[in-house]
Amino acid sequence: MINLIGTYECKADAKGRVMFSSALKKQLQPVLNEGFVIKRAVFQPCLELYSMKEWNLMMEKINKLNRFVKKNNDFIRRFTAGVKMVEFDATGRILIPKDLCEFASIKKQVVLSSAVNIIEIWDKDKYEKAIDDAAVDFADLAEEVMGNTDFDELS
């Protein structure tokens, strides 16, 4: 698994092509030739970029769901809605499909934000708003999520 680091601002052209920073491409180098999967995020108006390896790990988990349970089928359908395979071109860009650009309101200014093992792709204004909105209660959230974690058990 790759643990990605950083937040990068870049631009999308009129066709939806986004140039990745060299620092981010360097981190992705071990998986660059495998291809990537891009999809709508579940909780935010952004996109998620998975390396093929990370996507396959996620699909292994999802494939264990009982498809004779309606909620599971509904979840799988929604989770995989609009999923597309993408690759980097020779100049280090990916082409974000038009329907996904519309979902995430991506026009020109874009933020690529590492989210541990995936990259979130945001319209810059929506990213700034999400960060500002989360800042209000981040201390409470951090305490709730991480405060009772026994880090020795995680290793």
- Beta strands 109-115 and 93-95 are unpaired
Burial of 68 (0-12, 13-18, 19+ CB in 10 A): exposed
State the pTM of this model: 0.87
> Angle at Cα 48 formed by Cα 72 and Cα 7, nearest 5°?
145
Give the model's pLDDT for residue 6.
Answer: 92
pLDDT of residue 137: 74
Q: Which segments of the chain have a pLDDT < 50?
A: none
Determine contact, residues 1/52, Cβ cutoff 8 Å.
Answer: no
Q: Set out the domains of the chain in order of their start, with CATH numbers.
A: 7-147 (3.40.1550.20)
pLDDT at 148: 77
